[in-house]
Amino acid sequence: GAVVSQHPSWVICKSGTSVKIECRSLDFQATTMFWYRQFPKQSLMLMATSNEGSKATYEQGVEKDKFLINHASLTLSTLTVTSAHPEDSSFYICSAKIRDHHTLEQYFGPGTRLTVT
């Protein structure tokens, strides 16, 4: 149980285009989903916390107009990287917490590797 999927698993796009990444909880409802970014040999950095039906909360330094997050249902959150640039190339990972569950554990998706040329 507690499986999180991401799509696509990898994407290459040209500079200036937008890319949408989907994060789905497959066998549970997730009130809260998280988006992380990881550059090579660095730790995961939280970008934003996404609650179903409300606006995402962004971490300091993360541009909300560039990284659009939509959490329209209890099983799906999307991250759109708008006007992508080479410096946005990174490994983007989502995670989800089980709705109404007391554990603080988060379940991670397999990640999406974005390369902007």
Contact residues toward other proteins (CB under 8 A) are 32, 34, 36, 41-46, 49, 91, 93, 95, 97, 104-106, 108-111, 113
Least distance from C-beta 83 to other proteins, angstroms?
26
Q: What does the block give as tokens for 24?
A: 């789905």
Is 19 or 111 the residue whose CB approaches other proteins more closely? Answer: 111
| 28/91 with CB nearer other proteins | 91
Nearest distance, CB of residue 110 and other proteins, angstroms: 5
What residue type is assigned to position 48 of the chain? Answer: A
Determine the 3-state secondary structure of 79 from DSSP.
Answer: strand
- Report the distance separating Cα 110 and Cα 1, nearest Å: 15
Tokens (6 digits) for 85: 């640039």
Instruction: Select 17 or 76, whichever has its Cβ closest to other proteins.
Output: 76
For other proteins, which is the closer residue by CB, 18 or 64?
Answer: 64
Minimum distance from CB of 109 to other proteins (Å)? 6
The nearest distance, CB 84 to other proteins, in angstroms, is 20
Rg (CA), the chain: 13
- Contact between residue 108 and residue 24 where contact means Cβ atoms under 8 Å apart: no
The CA-CA-CA angle for residues 4, 35, 24, to 5°, reads 25
